[in-house]
Amino acid sequence: MRTKRFVFLASVALLITLPLLATNENINYEDINKIKAEGMQRSQVMELNSWLSDVYAPRLTGSPTIEKAAQWVMGKLKEWGLVNIRMEPWTDRNGIDRGWTNDKYYMQATSPEKFPIPGTPTAWTPGTNGLVSGEVVLVTATTAEDLAQYKGKLKGKWIFTQAPPDVPAMWEPASRRYTAAELAALEGPQPQPELGVTPPGGARQGTPAREGGPPQAPAQQGQRAGAPPAGQPQVPAGGRGGAGGANIRNEFFRAEGVLGTISTAPRGHGMYTIGGASRSADPATLLPAIVIAAEQYGRIARTLAKNIPVTIEADIKNTYSENPPLFNIVGEIPGTDKADEVVLLGAHFDTWHAATGAADDGNGCAAMMEAMRILKATGVRLRRTVRIGLWEAEEQGLIGSREYVSAHYGSRQPVQTGTGAAAGGQRGGGGGRGGAQGPLVLKPEHAKFCVYFNIDNGTGAIRGIYLQGNEAVAPIFREWMEPFRSLGMTTLTIRNTSGTDHQSFDAVGLPGFQFIQDPVEYNTVTHHTNMDTYERLQPRDNIQMATIVAGLAYLAANRDELLPRKPASAQGQGRRGGGGQ
C-alpha cells in the first residue's frame, strides 16, 4: 500500500515537472503530416537501397566502385532538385595511398576430399598471381622464438593462423527489437561503479538491458570500436590490430615462401568478419590473406589434427590503383531567411567488401537521400539550408567526416613537445583517435552550424536519440519526437554512443547525434560480415527512419534559434576508439 502511494506521488511530481521542461517549440503539424504522408506512403528508400546494395557495391574506400557510386548519387540529388552537389576532396590522404579491388576469388580443398571453400581476401592484400596449390599447416605461434621451429618447413604451404574456434549454437534469436522495459532503462540514469563493483553491463555505454536482465551494451551501440568480436584472434596475419605480433609473423612467413595465410571468425553459421591490412604498406611486403567461414576452417583443422594432409588450391586476383580519389559527397536544399545556417544529415558511404554493405551503411545513405527527396517533394519551407553529407573511409577511422569537419568547422591542433614535434595529437575534427589534444581552432562556419544527424546502426527502426551528454537539447527533442511517437520513436538517453561519424562533430563542440535503433540482426549477422546484403534490410524500418529524419531536419531548419551546444568542459566526451563501424 505504501509503495503504491509512493508511485502515485512520484507520477504526480512528474506531471507537474514536465510542463516546466517544455520549450514551446513551434511545430507546424500541417507540414509534418505532409512529410509523414510522403515518407510513409510514397517512399523510394528501398529502390535507393537496391541501387546502393545491388549495383554500386561493395564500396571499399578508394575503389573504382565507390567513385562510380558517387556519380550515381550525385545524379539522383540533381534529379530531385538539390544544388551545390559535389565530390569534395580531402586535403589529407591520411595514408590511403592506393585503392584495391578483389577481381577473382577461387579456393577449394583438393585432397583428401574435394570441396569448395567460400571466403574473402583481406582488403589491400595481394593475390596469388595465378593458380597455386599447397598443403595446409596450422601455425599459432606469434613470437620470433616460437616461430623458429618452423624455419625451412613452410615453403609453398598455406598457413592456418589460429586454432579452430568453438562455435556455439544460436541460443537466443539472432534478430530482436527493443522492449518497452529496455527503452525505459536506457532513459534512466546510467549505472555507476560502486566501491570496486562493476556496474551491470561493465563500463560500456549506450544500450539498455535485455528483457529481464541487467543493462548490457551490445557492440553495435554504445561501444562501437573497430576491434574484432570477442574470441576472434587479435593478430590475424594480414588483418587488423596487434601490429607487433602480426608484423613478426608476416615477415617470417614471407621469408619462408608461404603461399598465403587463412584465418576465420568464431561466428559460424557460414558467417565471417572481414577487414583490411595497412593501406599504405607496399603490397610487395604483404602476403595473400583470406578469411573463410568457421565450418570449412574447422573441418580442415580437425583433419590436420588426425595427421592427414590437406591440400588447397586457389586463384585470387586483387588489383591495386595508385592515389585514388578520396572524397565526401555533399548536396543541399537552400534555406530562406537563415540560409547561411546549416542542418546536416549524414551516413558513411564506404563499406567492407565481403558483402554489399547494405546495413553498414548503405541503408543509412539511402535513408538520408530519401529524407532529402521527401523535403523537396513536399515543398515545405526551410529557413535554414539542409545539407546531406556521405562520408568515405568511416571504416578506416571516421576519416571522411573528420576531414569535412576540419575543412569547414574546426580542428584540434597537435600538442607540441619541447622540440616542436607533434606528440600524439589528433588530426582533423577528432572522432575519437585518442592521444594528447591541443587547442580547438574554429572556423567561421562553426558559429552557423545547427545540428548533425547520423544513421549507422543497421536496418533497425529509429526508437530515439543518444544525446551525447547534451542536457540542454533534451526538452527540445522531447517535443520534436511527439509527432513521431506513433511511428515508434519514444526515447531519449543522455548517454553517449561511439564509433561513428557524429563523433567528428561532437569533438569540436557541434551538436552531433546518432539514433537509437532496434538491433535487429546488426551485431549478430550483418556487422562487417559476408551476410550484409539487401536481403537483411527491413523495408518498413527503412521507410520509418527516412521519414523521421526528414521530419527532424524540417524542425531543426525552421527553429528560431540554433540548437544549444554542450558546455566547453563536456565537448567531445564519450569518444572512444577511431575505428569505424
Please answer whether residues 517 and 460 qualify as being in contact, where contact means their C-beta atoms are separated by less than 8 angstroms: yes
- The structural domain count of the chain equals 2
Residues 399 and 467 in one domain: yes
Residues 445 and 500 in one domain: yes
For residue 50, the tally of other CB atoms under 10 A from its CB is: 15
Concatenated DSSP letters of 327-367: EEEEEEE--STEEEEEEEEEEE----SSS--IIIIIHHHHH
pLDDT in tens, the chain (581 residues): 333 333 333 333 333 333 345 567 899 999 999 999 999 999 999 999 999 999 999 999 999 999 999 999 999 999 999 999 999 999 999 999 999 999 999 999 999 999 999 999 999 999 999 999 999 999 999 999 999 999 999 999 999 999 999 999 999 999 999 999 999 999 988 777 777 665 554 333 333 333 333 333 333 333 333 333 333 333 333 333 345 667 899 999 999 999 999 999 999 999 999 999 988 889 999 999 999 999 999 999 999 999 999 999 999 999 999 999 999 999 999 999 999 999 999 999 999 999 999 999 999 999 999 999 999 999 999 999 999 999 999 999 999 999 999 999 999 877 665 544 333 334 444 444 445 667 899 999 999 999 999 999 999 999 999 999 999 999 999 999 999 999 999 999 999 999 999 999 999 999 999 999 999 999 999 999 999 999 999 999 999 999 999 999 999 999 999 999 998 766 655 443 344 55
Residues 365 and 474 in one domain: yes
Q: What is the pLDDT of residue 546?
A: 98
Residues 262 and 409 in one domain: no
pTM of structure: 0.87
> Domain ends where: 300, 322, 344?
322
The whole domain housing 407 covers 51-96+325-415+424-564
Three cell numbers at 390?
556521405
> Domain ends where: 281, 304, 322?
322
Q: What is the pLDDT of residue 188?
A: 85
Taking each continuous run of H as one helix and of E as one strand, the counts in the chain are 13, 18
Residues 345 and 292 in one domain: no
The angle, 0 to 180 degrees and rounded to 10, between the axes of the packed helices 29-41 and 363-378 is 130
Q: What is the pLDDT of residue 24?
A: 79
CATH of the domain at 122: 3.50.30.30
Task: Say if 449 falls within a structural domain.
Answer: yes
Concatenated DSSP letters of 403-431: HHHHHHTEEEPPPB-TTS-B-S---TT-S
Q: What is the pLDDT of residue 581?
A: 54
Which of 122, 124, 482, 142 lies closest to 290 in space, CA to CA?
Answer: 122
Strands 410-412 and 440-442: antiparallel
Task: Say if 352 falls within a structural domain.
Answer: yes
Q: What is the pLDDT of residue 23?
A: 66
CATH of the domain at 458: 3.40.630.10
